[in-house]
Structure 1
Amino acid sequence: MQYLLKVSIEDTPLWRLVAIDGKADICHVAKLIALAFDYKKSQYCFIINNQKFSAGIDGETTSLEELKSFDSLALETGSVFNFVNETIGSLRHRVEVMKAEEKLYCLIPSCLVGAGMLPPEDNLTAASISAYYDMEDCPSLNLKDVTNRLREYGSVRKDLEATMSKISAIPFNVKG
């Protein structure tokens, strides 16, 4: 499946509409969402139906669970869950699955639309983000830059075999 996710930072006007491939692992999708907002290195998780799914640290996995495909979460159009940036004061995001289809007719991954930029500071809060957004000289969101970051990172993990070997410390061969 391919997914169109509306990701909104709770209690702020910032949001992104991101297209992702469900074949990507949970950790990879978390990194794509982080790139859409241009977060610095952080630890992430998803909270779906009150269950926490660890999503790595800046795209680096810490367990085999984080390598499960996003498809394995069994989300469908209308599903709502949370994405949490655990490093930055537990900054929570509301994620709504706008579409879940076999084929989306857009670039994967990409950011189709959104609003607002993060302030250039390390200690982000909903209040500081909203205040920055309301400033007259706040820079505009450049969707081309956001999509370029996502495309550079890729739609799925390219080093799956090496990542699994590193996590499990056992040689792993995906070719059989």
Structure 2
Amino acid sequence: MQYLLKVSIENTPLWRLVAIDGKADISHVAKLIGLAFDYKKSQYCFNIDSRKISAGVDGQTSSLEELKTFDSLSLNAGDVFGFVNETQGSLNHKVEVMKAEDKLYCLIPSCLVGAGILPPEDNLTTDAISAYYDKDDCPSLNLKEVTNRLREYGSVRKDLEATMSQVSAIPFDIKG
């Protein structure tokens, strides 16, 4: 499946409409969402049906759970769930599945539309984000730049086999 997700930072006017491939792993999708907002290196998770699903740190995984495909979450159009940037002040996001179809007729991944950009500071809060958005001289969102970041990262993980072997490698210790 391919998904059109509306991702909004809760209690702020910032949002993005992103197109992603369901074949991508959970950690990869979290990184794509992070890139859509231009977050610095962050730890992410999804909250779906009262279940917290770890989504790695900046696209890097630490468990096989994070390598499950986004499709494995069995999401449908109309579903709503949470996404959390745990590093940047625990910013909570509302994610709405706008479309879930076999084929979306747009670039995958891409950011089709959105509003606002983040302030250039490290400790982000919803108040700081909203105040920055309301400034008269706040730069506008450049969709081409956002989509270029997403496309550069790719629609799916390129190093899946290496990542799987790294995550599933269990140290073998023989005590004598």
Please indicate the TM-score interval, normalised by the length of the shorter structure. over 0.9
> What's the CA shift string for 1:132-159, capped at 9, x where partnerless?
0000000000000000000000000000
**What SS class does the counterpart of residue 111 from structure 1 fall into?**
strand
Aligned to 1:30: 30
TM-score under structure 2 length normalisation: 0.96
> How many equivalent residue pairs?
170
Instruction: State the 4+ residue runs in structure 1 displaced beyond 2 angstroms.
Output: none
Give the superposition deviation at 1:160.
Answer: 0.4
1:20 is paired with a residue of what secondary structure? strand
State the 1:8 CA deviation: 0.1
SS at match of 2:40: coil
Q: Does 2:25 match 1:2?
A: no
Query: How far did residue 69 of structure 1 move?
Result: 0.2
Cα deviation per residue 1:33-72 (whole Å; 9 max; x = unaligned)? 0000000000000000110000000000010000000000
Deviation digits for residues 115-147 of structure 1, max 9, x if unmatched? 000000000000000000000000000000000
Instruction: State the partner residue of 1:51.
Output: 51
Give the Å deviation of 1:169: 1.3
Unmatched runs of 5 consecutive residues or more in structure 1: 171-176
Q: TM-score, normalised by structure 1?
A: 0.96
Aligned partner of residue 72 in structure 1, secondary structure: helix
Structure 1 residue 168: deviation in Å?
1.0
Residues 165-176 of structure 1 mapped to structure 2, 5 A cutoff = 165-169=165-169
Q: Structure 1 vs Structure 2: percent identity of aligned residues? A: 82
How do 1:1-176 and structure 2 match up within 5 A? 1-169=1-169
**How far, CA to CA, are the matches of 1:169 and 1:74 in structure 2?**
28
Distance between the aligned counterparts of 2:149 and 2:89, measured in 1?
24
Alignment RMSD (CA, Å)? 0.6
* Structure 2 unaligned regions, length at least 5: 171-176
Alpha-carbon distance in 2 for matches of 1:128, 1:8: 16
Q: Which amino acid aligns with 1:147?
A: T
Amino acid at match of 1:73: L
Question: Which entry has the higher C-alpha Rg, 1 or 2?
Answer: 2
- Following the alignment from structure 2 to structure 1, what is the Cα–Cα distance between the partners of residues 96 and 50? 15
